[in-house]
Amino acid sequence: MSDFPYTDRFTVNRVLPEHGRPREEVLAELREMARAEDLTWETGKVSGTMYCGDHEHYRFLDEAFGLFAHVNVLQRDICPSATKFEGEIIAMALDLMHADAVTDTEPVGMVTTGGTGSIIHALLSYREHAAAHRGITRPNFIKPETGHPAFDKGCHLFGIEMRTAPIDPQTTEVDVDWVADNIDENTIAIMGSACNYGYGTVDPIPALGELALSRGVGLHVDGCLGGFVLPFAQELGYDVPLFDFRVPGVTSISADNHKYGYALKGASTLLFRDKAYRNAQYFYLPEWSGGKYHSPGIEGSRSGGLIAAAWASMVQLGREGYRSYAKAILETAFTMQGAVRSHPELTIMGSPTFCFAFRSDEFDIYHVADAMKPKGWRFNGQQYPNAIHMAVTRPQTQAGVAEAFAADLADAVEYAKKQTAAGQAPISAAIYGGVPGGMTDEAAQFIEGFMEQMLDTQQSLPPL
């Protein structure tokens, strides 16, 4: 992480100031920071994270947010609008995921705070449902190795044993036979990604669905990343396998509004084939002295602003808007993948979609990251095997970005060959590099230091 850059320009607040400052002065400070930070990704050279990047859209969302930001949607009697927004977000997402194909149960959903929020609510639902209906007290869950760490986090939080399935190293898709062999009487659910973060590939959801049905377990499809792109990719005729409720056996799907749903950060949708799963995780405390407490999910108070903005994004863009953005993103992603494939030294992992990863058998791929970083590129580094990850978002669809990628990549490949011939190790390796054999003390210390830099920087600043 970079050094904290603002200490020389702005007051460091270690205590709540006795006297407040003029609003305009505070806003001027915020504007300066925001402008500087926006400049880093507006170039289109930053992988993922800024899914929309359109300041006009952000202004529209900000206005929708501002109208309801102060509202607590837990108190529905004073904000019936939240019931409209949440209900319609869920209905529109169910429609997108072809819940009309479900005839024997009632499909429902909930809006959560993000991908991790949706995933952990799904895990809690499966755990509670399995406890109530199958008497399971020692639950386990199976994810492919490529499944997002939010599943491991949820299992850790809720006392669920995680079983990690290997993937095929060529296709990067989950080994379905391994999953079949490792389902037992305590398995509450399995999962597949559409698509996974690391390689942008889609697991064989129809095969997982068949397995889930035949063994009586749930199947969660993680569409956090792909949920608002892949349905439109299918409509546009791209070769994307079925992954939604049309697949028998799919019992829940997550799709992040705050990624390719182009909403503000803090919104995701979790959908269930059967109301019984969602309702299994409701929380009630009717005997509490403060009143009969209940909440539909893990959070208590939630902001009406985020729900209003997520709803506003969906109804303003419509299918047409999402489809046109998906088209531009996919075309850019395939152009960039073409640039990678033009180098015989580079290998793309599996058959990716709008996000992809590439590695090399000829040199350490982090040499490529080293050469592209000074040109403004920011990729995520992967491990086992080392690879460079690129999630294509709307900022990359600007004119000239894919061409710049191709040109800078060509230079980077030459640089990597020279560095390798000279016996040089890549600089990025210290940050991106894998930790052989798992978590060492050194790696744990590095990660702890990284987290502390996020949270405690203000504590370690020099005295005022």
CA distance 190 to 206: 13
115 touches ligand PLP (CB under 6 A):
yes
Report helix, strand or coil for 375: helix
Only one of the segments 100-108, 217-225, 307-315, 320-328 lies at the binding site for ligand PLP (rule: CB under 6 A); that segment is 217-225
CB-nearer residue toward ligand PLP: 51 or 363: 51
* Binding to ligand PLP in span 130-189, by CB under 6 A: 148, 150
The bridge status of strand 252-255 relative to strand 218-223 is parallel
Cis (ω within 30 of 0) for the bond into 395?
A: no
Cβ of residue 120: shortest distance to ligand PLP, in angstroms? 9
Residue type, 266: G
For residue 350, what are the CA distances in angstroms to 168, 173, 183, 194?
A: 9, 8, 26, 14
Those residues with Cβ within 8 angstroms of residue 291's Cβ, 6 or more apart along the chain or in another chain? none
Only one of the segments 190-198, 303-311, 331-339, 360-368 lies at the binding site for ligand PLP (rule: CB under 6 A); that segment is 190-198
If you write DSSP's letter for every residue of 411-454 in order, what string do you get? HHHHHHHHHHHTTPPPSTHHHH---TTS--HHHHHHHHHHHHHH
Among 120, 122, 202, 225, which residue sits at the site for ligand PLP (rule: CB under 6 A)?
A: 225
317 touches ligand PLP (CB under 6 A):
no
Cβ of residue 185: shortest distance to ligand PLP, in angstroms? 28
CB atoms within 10 A of CB 75: 11
364 touches ligand PLP (CB under 6 A):
no
Cis (ω within 30 of 0) for the bond into 355?
A: no
197 touches ligand PLP (CB under 6 A):
yes
Among 196, 337, 380, 397, which residue sits at the site for ligand PLP (rule: CB under 6 A)?
A: 196
Q: Which residue is nearest to ligand PLP (CB)?
A: 115
201 touches ligand PLP (CB under 6 A):
no
Residue type, 455: L
Are the C-beta atoms of residues 208 and 241 closer than 8 Å to each other? no
* Binding to ligand PLP in span 241-260, by CB under 6 A: 256
Cβ of residue 193: shortest distance to ligand PLP, in angstroms? 5
Cβ of residue 392: shortest distance to ligand PLP, in angstroms? 13
Report helix, strand or coil for 219: strand
Binding site for ligand PLP (CB under 6 A): 114-116, 148, 150, 193, 196-197, 222, 224-225, 256
